[in-house]
Amino acid sequence: MMIFLHHLNIINLYKMKKILFLVFTFLVVDLCTVMSQDSGSSIDSKMFVGVKGAYGISDFKTVVPAITKFADATFDNISYGVLFGYNLTANIGLQGEVNYSQYSADNIDESYLYSPLSPALQPSGQFSIVDHLDMDLYYIDIPVMVKYTLSKIGFSPYLYAGVNFGINVQGNTTIVRKISATEAVYRDYKDDISARIRYNDIAPVGGIGAKMNLGSLSLLLDIRYKHGFMNQSNVDNNLGFSNKAIWGSVGLVYNL
C-alpha cells in the first residue's frame, strides 16, 4: 500500500488531472447511455458506481494557540472524481470515492512556509516588494464512509460519515509583488512548495444529501464537511496549519 501511495505522489500533476478528467468524462457518457437504454428500478440494487463534481469553501487555520489567523478563506475550490459503493441493507451502505481536489488560501502568513531571509521574499530591484502570498494545494482525496438512507422512495434523503485520506500531489504559492512606488502595479509568480506540505492528511468527514432515483440511475445532491485537524506543514519551525472545508456536490450513479 505504501508503495502505491508513493507512486501516486510522484505522478506529474498534469497527468493526474488528465487521467481523472478522462475517467470522469467516460463515466458520464456511459451513464447517460445507460439512462437512455434502461428504465429499470434501483430499489433492489446492491452496488453502484458513478461520477461527481463539487464546489467548496476552504478555510486554513493555524495550529498555534497564541496566533488567531493564518490565511483568508477561499470560495473557489473545485473537486471532481469517481464514487462507488455497496448497500449492505435497504438503508445502510458503504461508499468510497477517489477525487482530485484543490484547497486554496489567500493572504497567507509567509512565516509559516518561508524563513525571513528566503530569496523568494527578498526585494527585487528598487521597487519590487512582496505585497501578499496566496496558496494552492492539490490532493487526491479518498473518503471512505458509512451511508444511511432514510427511505427508498423516488426522493431519498441520506446521511453519511467517515474518514478522508488525502494524498498531497502538488502545492504552490503565488507570490504577488508590487513593482511600482507610485502606482498599483503588481506582478506574480508561482513557487513550488510541494515538499513543504506533508504527504498525508487524514480528516473526519460527514454530510447530508438526497438521492433522486431515475430507474437504474440516481442523481445525488449533498453537502459535506471535512474537519481537518492534522498539521499540514512539513516545515520545522514550530508553526503549522490545518484545513477545514465545506463542499456542495452533484453526482450521477448507476445502480448495478
Quickly state the pLDDT bin for 43 (edges 50, 70, 90).
low
> Given a cut of 80, is residue 34 above it in pLDDT?
no
pLDDT score recorded for residue 22: 52
pLDDT digits (tens, 9 = 90+) for 56-77: 999 999 999 888 899 999 998 9
The answer for residues whose C-beta is within 8 angstroms of residue 36's C-beta and 6 or more apart is none
pLDDT at 237: 92
Q: Which residues contact 218 (CB under 8 A, 6 or more apart)?
A: 42, 48, 50, 211, 212, 252, 253, 255
Residue 231 has pLDDT above 90, yes or no: yes
Specify the pTM.
0.81
Which one has a higher pLDDT value, 128 or 71? 71
Q: Of 72 and 41, which is predicted with more confidence?
A: 72
Q: How confident is the model at residue 44 (pLDDT cuts 50, 70, 90)?
A: low
| Distance between CA atoms of residues 203 and 58, nearest Å | 14
Residue 6 has pLDDT above 50, yes or no: no
> 35-39, 56-60, 246-250: lowest mean pLDDT where?
35-39
Q: Is the pLDDT of residue 222 over 60?
A: yes
- Residue 149: predicted pLDDT: 93
CA distance 124 to 201: 35
pLDDT score at 183: 80
What pLDDT is stored for residue 13 in this prediction? Answer: 43
Question: Do 210 and 159 form a contact (C-beta atoms < 8 A)?
Answer: no
C-alpha–C-alpha distance, residues 23 and 174, integer Å: 30
Is pLDDT of 123 > 90?
no
Return d(Cα 15, Cα 157) in angstroms, integer.
36
Least confident of 68-72, 78-82, 142-146, 239-243: 68-72
Q: In percent, how much of the chain has pLDDT > 90? A: 64
Question: What are the residues facing 207 on neighbouring strands?
Answer: 160, 224
Residue 184 has pLDDT above 90, yes or no: no
Please give the average per-residue pLDDT across 237-249, as a whole number: 96
Instruction: Look at residue 148 and tell me whether its pLDDT is greater than 60.
Output: yes
Q: Which carries the bigger pLDDT value, residue 37 or residue 130? A: 130
The closest of 163, 171, 253 to 210, measured between CA atoms, is 253
CA distance 154 to 65: 48
Q: pLDDT averaged over the chain?
A: 85
Percent of the residues in the chain that have a pLDDT greater than 70, as a whole number: 81
